[in-house]
Amino acid sequence: MKSVLSERKALHPPNIDDIEHRELPGTAAQAVRDLAAEIARTSTHSAVNASEPLADPALLAQISTHAGDLPAAVRATLRPPATAAGACIVRGLPLSDSEIGPTPPDWQTAALWSTDPGRARGSLELDIAMLLLAAAAGEPFGWAGQQDGRLVNNIVPAAGHEFEQSGASSTVLLSPHTEDAFHPQRANMLMLACLRNPESVGTTVSSIRRVRLTRPHQDILRTPTLPILPDVSYGSAFERAEAVPVPTLWSEPGHEDDPGSLTLRFDPAYTPLDDACPEFREAYAQLERELERVCAMPALRPGELLLIDNDVAVHGRVPFTPRYDGTDRWLKRVNIRLPEHPRRAAESRENGYGQQIVAPFPPAPPRQAAPAREVRNERNGAVDDRGSIGHT
């Protein structure tokens, strides 16, 4: 997969038309930035933890309270992806390169710089803006074991991590994966915000609702066979003996016969495939090939948000050569829980390898879930346009 995606990057421009696009209205976008700036300005007096303002309950209370005051267009635009692509790009957040300062060399430095009065305040303001947007979309949360529990993660290339399967890598393909696939409380929706991407490095997005799989392959992949282990960003201090097999594919409850409701949980880099029988490995390999075939590769631009339905689409990143000179690609990531998207009851029995979420926001009011028919019938992404999943 690495070589093929690398070749695609070289041969083809990113096919962003494969993904739904939305525009955040100018007045709504400016309201987010203005409110974030106001909260950042006043938070300096109330921060309990000066090194991590986003852990300050008073600051979070301000964000939670005032997110509801934003124009209704913010919540409407930040609704979950509505097409079979399982992802959408939201444009329109005002952002200038000069306000964010240089790209930090790692996430730890990003956190330090965001509260350094001698540096640009843009990063902290943008963190607050990210939380306002995420709170309008659903319930933002973090992980106690990842980036010290921060609710807004910085994704930058870090020296010494070039070949990892993590957001800190660069020179290898970041394989398509479900975010935090190992955990039953993983995000329903992922928000990736682009601050800087001067070389137009492509983010990969592949939807399970665009793949073609035979019914036997589907049936094999629906059978809990292998565990998915925590990725390297959580360290290695987990108990492998706790691993439980999970299904790779399943359908949304109540829609078992509807190909437009297929969902997945997929992270090959952290799945012990050698432990499976040849039939499972073949079905899994076919799924990998299909996810590669349907892969879209948007090159995010500053101010763009990529929303990913974490049950429908897997994401990754093409390889690139880091500069480590303050101009590298820089994304911010927020995990979002959507109460209207409950998971299979069986997942509630998983222990998540001891990893705990950090969820300081009150539960978000549920949206009315989009009907499955809406998901199937959109342009260009419709599973049933090709009559595709299964049955061949």
Binding residues for 2-oxoglutarate: 223, 329, 333
Task: Tell me the window of 62-70, 93-101, 111-119, 175-183 that interacts with Fe ion (CB under 5 A).
Answer: 175-183
User: Cα torsion at 247, 252, 257, 258 (round to 10°)?
Assistant: -120
Tokens representing residue 392 in the block = 């061949």
DSSP string, 67-95: HTTS-HHHHHHTSPP-STT-EEEEE----
**Measuring CA to CA, which residue among 113, 147, 358, 122 is closest to residue 234?**
147
Q: Min. distance of Cβ 337 from Fe ion in angstroms?
A: 16
CB of 317 to Fe ion, least distance (A): 8
Asked whether the beta carbons of 198 and 329 are under 8 A apart, the reply is yes
Least distance in Å: CB of 328 to Fe ion? 17
Interhelix angle for 26-43 vs 122-137, to 10°? 120
User: Going residue by residue from 126 to 165, which x/- string records binding to Fe ion, judged by CB under 5 A?
Assistant: ----------------------------------------
From the CB of 384, what's the least distance to Fe ion, in Å? 29
For residue 84, report the phi and psi dihedrals to the nearest 5 degrees.
-65, -10
Q: Which residue has the tokens 């990003």?
A: 110
Name the residue nearer to Fe ion (CB basis): 111 or 205: 205
User: Cβ neighbours of residue 243 under 8 Å, at least 6 residues apart?
Assistant: 227, 229, 353
How many residues bind Fe ion, per CB under 5 A? 1
Name the residue nearer to Fe ion (CB basis): 73 or 232: 232
Q: Which is nearer to Fe ion, 179 or 311 (CB)?
A: 179
180 binds Fe ion (CB under 5 A): no
Of the pair 179, 252, the CB lying nearest Fe ion is at 179
Using the contact rule CB under 5 A, the part of the chain among 122-130, 179-187, 263-271, 339-347 near Fe ion is: 179-187
51 near 115, Cβ under 8 Å?
yes
Compare residues 18 and 267 and give the one whose CB is closer to Fe ion. 267
Q: Is 286 exposed, middle or buried, given 0-12, 13-18 or 19+ CB atoms closer than 10 A?
A: middle
Which residue numbers belong to the known binding site?
Answer: 177, 179, 223, 315, 329, 333
Binding part of the chain for Fe ion, among 68-76, 178-186, 217-225, 381-389 by CB under 5 A, reads 178-186
CB of 232 to Fe ion, least distance (A): 12
Q: Is 179 among the residues that bind Fe ion (CB under 5 A)?
A: yes
CB 210 within 8 A of CB 381: yes
251: left (phi over 0), alpha (psi -120 to 50) or beta: beta
User: Is 288 near Fe ion (CB under 5 A)?
Assistant: no
* Residue 315 beta carbon to Fe ion: minimum distance, rounded to whole angstroms: 6
Output the known binding site for Fe cation: 177, 179, 315
β-partners of residue 85 are: none
Residues that bind Fe ion (CB under 5 A): 179
